[in-house]
Amino acid sequence: MKKIILFLAFATVLAACSSVMFTGRRQMKMIPASEMASMAVQSYSSFIDSSALSTNEEYNEMVQTVGANIKRAVEQYMTDNGYKKQLALLDWEFNVIESEEVNAWAMPGGKIAFYTGIMPVCQDENGVAVVMGHEISHVLAGHGNERMTQQLMAQFGSIALSEAIKQKPELTQTIFNTSYAIGAQYGALLPYSRLHEREADRIGQIIMAMAGYDPVHAIALWERMDALSGGDPVPEVLSTHPSNSSRIADMKANLEEARKYLVKD
């Protein structure tokens, strides 16, 4: 019996292991990606319904343009590199929300929100591309699923987890909502780990480059963010407090790798 349980545990864990696009880091994601996407659709649409969308034409235009450019580049990359299955689960949406908060976030499936408060920090399309790249990277790297897997594992253990997902959909949705703080304060995400933030920074620079934006702009954007930090509430993009200076140093170190993806026209 013990052997069977051990085998099941091993098989479950093995099935849930995958590696992150671009970085190759091994990760464990036990919630079906389709499940994550459908939970996100529900949460995101109720968030949008209860929010004031920005009427600032310039902001909307910038976010839609950059979103479309990065989306196109990422889809091309995924098509060419064997990620068609993951691509099928992406249903992109980009919205600008009226809020003074300096924030932006993403949900699984490619549901992105920018707050008007972050737009002056972004300044222009290049700055929007830095933030957009970072947020889309959380989606591509499956950070939401990985974080939720960790929470569910703590509650159920690995063997019971797949059963729990099947049999207790409300509970799974509740954990998803908690994970994204839906209900209490929309869009105020629980902080990602420092590891996830650094990974999103690194992939973000790569995908902005693929869309034609020089990843060098990430450095200037983070210097502007740095000048703002200390504010409250802590925006998602600043959530894990790797010191901004170490973050900026990482951005500089990533530059050479990211620029290899830069398309010049």
**Interface with Zn ion (CB under 5 A):** 200
C-beta closer to Zn ion: residue 35 or 201? 201
Residue 149 carries which side chain, given as an amino acid letter?
T
User: At its nearest, how many Å lie between Zn ion and the CB of residue 72?
Assistant: 22
Burial readout 198-207 (b: 16 or more C-beta within 10 A, e: otherwise) = bbbbbbbbbb
C-beta closer to Zn ion: residue 104 or 152? 104
DSSP bridge partners of 26: 19
Residue 139 carries which side chain, given as an amino acid letter?
V
User: At its nearest, how many Å lie between Zn ion and the CB of residue 204?
Assistant: 9
C-beta closer to Zn ion: residue 103 or 149? 103
Question: Alpha carbon of 197 to those of 15, 141, 192, 241, 247: distances in Å?
Answer: 25, 11, 6, 9, 9
C-beta closer to Zn ion: residue 200 or 203? 200
User: At its nearest, how many Å lie between Zn ion and the CB of residue 215?
Assistant: 16
User: At its nearest, how many Å lie between Zn ion and the CB of residue 237?
Assistant: 6
C-beta closer to Zn ion: residue 31 or 139? 139
Q: Are 53 and 191 in contact (CB under 8 A)?
A: no
Catalytic positions, please? 135
User: At its nearest, how many Å lie between Zn ion and the CB of residue 113?
Assistant: 13
Question: Alpha carbon of 161 to those of 17, 30, 34: distances in Å?
Answer: 15, 8, 16
